[in-house]
Structure 1
Amino acid sequence: MSPILSVPDLVTWLAGGHPPVVLDVRWTLAGPPAREVYQTGHVPGARYVDFDTVLSGPADPAGGGRHPLPAPEVFAAAMRDLGLRTDSDVVVYGAPDGFGAARAWWCLRYFGHRSVRVLDGGFAAWVAAGQPVEPGEPGEPALVETAGDFVARPGGMPVLDVDEAAMLARSGLLLDARAGERYRGETEPVDPVGGHIPGALSAPTAANLDADGLFLHPSRLRERFAALGIDEADGGSDVGTYCGSGVSAAQQVLALELAGVRAGLYVGSWSDWVSDGRRPVSTGPDRG
């Protein structure tokens, strides 16, 4: 089963006898609060997911990055509150860049839920297709039709800690999912230090999408990653990715999975790496 689905596929699924649970994760670094965006209009029946309290744990200045993983019990409780059951089919959507939706997809997979897919193109694709939009909050019956029984079982997706990321940058392929100028250290709008992990390879997530914000066809993604030295035949055992705080890199993991490669996510990412000033930093276009 592909980890993504199209708007027409979702429309058909929602009209069937066993519709999926739809989660709205329109997270961005700037702009109006996500809850207000959701209340303005969402896929009918979609359930709002707060990124900062559900898909991320509290940040610790001492390390772990801006968006560490949520505690298993916190994530599980939030999913149960949304009515998520062990056998639920789930579809997540967000902004066209796919960042928030991919993080939700990754978290659900990491905590043991297998049947989860991302709406290709996000909410913008839904609206562009002329599909109906529901304002406000769903009524209680629509929000939770049955009690959830989701139990978090960590370990469903590969994770890299800081030492594993450093080793992979030297001995495998560690992809930096941020924009090229941040990788090169020319600008750093969020973290105190610019640059990249020595040995990491620049692979901005924007190149995973077409002009309409849809994921490239798997064959084109395979070509893209092959040009970076990734061979799908190795199963991605020596491939990992990071970004600023483990959000856009989740979209990279999703794109790699579409290409047939299973990759590890350095959740702490650059914000964790630079929390310790003793760690080396490379700048410029070379891997370092």
Structure 2
Amino acid sequence: MGLVANLVELADIEPSLGTEELHLFDVRWYLDGRSGHRAFLEKHIRSAMFLDLDTCLCDPSTVDPALGRHPLPDPKSFESVLTSFGVSKSQLLVFYDDQAGSIAARAWWMASAIGYQAALLNGGLSAASNSMFESGESPIRSMPRLPYTSSTMSWDPDLVISEPELKALLSQGNAILLDARSKERYLGINETVDPKAGHIPGAVSAFWRQNVDRRNRFKHPNEIAKNFLQLGIGPTTEKEVISSCGSGVTACHNIFTLQYALQLQARLFPPSFSGWCHTLGNEIET
């Protein structure tokens, strides 16, 4: 299944806010520990519902650190979360945050991967004027919990990659592994999140912030294409492109951007560096 990088403008979807045509989700989350839900309660775009990264977009019950800080939940469980909001695959799901889509892209990726029509809101929260904000909870329950159930349904192997397969592709020289973290964390400078510093051997730095401008809006596809071409990624790229980050969240921003600008489908390495550095014997570069 291919993903569609649907980028929408607030002016275009405003007439549909609060209707059955569209569901708007606020996916704010902060690496420094601030509460995204508290920020949502204080102010959010009209009709938006809160979708929590820690309880809805990852599986907090997973105890294996090799799966990373934000392990993907079972896709069937995630679909249960979406249906608890009353959404269907005939409706458009639009996701936003206040960090240029770096968190919302994870929700876009997950929803798209299981067949929903999903989009990112260009500019995120900053795209709205004061008259479009409201506070408090939305009428629909805003914080469902993942119903962790066993399921044989798994993520599409064309969209994700396992650690053994990643190692094989890298050793054969058949992959370009992107690291969406900041250049400092990629180099192992001032690492404050994971227990080890550095990056997966062979990974190239592709900070997700380079995909957007100062207004948190996506750059023109031509400018984005030039940036990725410097990393060896272009229309004629034969190597497989893999996206990683710290825990499989901002990596989705690069996946969205590559699809948006180049119509190139990259695969996600869900554990990313936080999972890699917990696996005994894995080397780390700085």
TM range (shorter): 0.7 to 0.9
User: Which residue of structure 2 lines up, in the alignment, with residue 137 of structure 1?
Assistant: 137
**How far is 1:131 from its partner?**
4.3
**How far is 1:61 from its partner?**
3.7
User: Which residue of structure 2 lines up, in the alignment, with residue 52 of structure 1?
Assistant: 54
Give the distance between the partners of 1:44 and 1:75, measured in 2 at CA: 24
Give the distance between the partners of 2:142 and 2:196, measured in 1 at CA: 46
Letter of the structure 2 residue corresponding to residue 213 of structure 1? N
1:204 to 203, 207, 210: 207
Tell whether 2:77 aligns with 1:71.
Answer: no
Consecutive unaligned residues in structure 1, runs of 5 or more: 144-151, 284-288
Give the distance between the partners of 2:270 and 2:115, measured in 1 at CA: 17
**How far is 1:182 from its partner?**
1.1
Contact 1:112 1:155 in 2 (8 A): no
Give the 3 Å change call, closer, same or farther, for CA 240–7 of structure 1 in structure 2: same
Matched residue SS, 1:182: helix
Alignment of 1:55-134 (within 5 A): 55-58=57-60, 59-113=62-116, 115-126=117-128, 129-134=129-134
User: Which residue of structure 2 lines up, in the alignment, with residue 158 of structure 1?
Assistant: 159
What TM-score results when the alignment is normalised by the length of structure 1? 0.86
Give the distance between the partners of 2:257 and 2:142, measured in 1 at CA: 32
Matched residue SS, 1:166: helix
Give the distance between the partners of 1:141 and 1:177, measured in 2 at CA: 33
Give the distance between the partners of 1:168 and 1:281, measured in 2 at CA: 17
Letter of the structure 2 residue corresponding to residue 119 of structure 1? L
Q: Deviations over 1:198-240 (max 9, x none)?
A: 1111111111111111111111111111111102244x76101
Give the distance between the partners of 1:281 and 1:156, measured in 2 at CA: 26
Q: Deviations over 1:49-75 (max 9, x none)?
A: 121111001242442111111122321
Q: Deviations over 1:104-152 (max 9, x none)?
A: 0001012222x110001111222xx444111111224999xxxxxxxx8
Letter of the structure 2 residue corresponding to residue 77 of structure 1? S
Give the 3 Å change call, closer, same or farther, for CA 280–78 of structure 1 in structure 2: same
**How far is 1:92 from its partner?**
0.7
Give the number of aligned pairs.
Answer: 271
Letter of the structure 2 residue corresponding to residue 282 of structure 1? E
Moved over 4 A (4+): 140-143
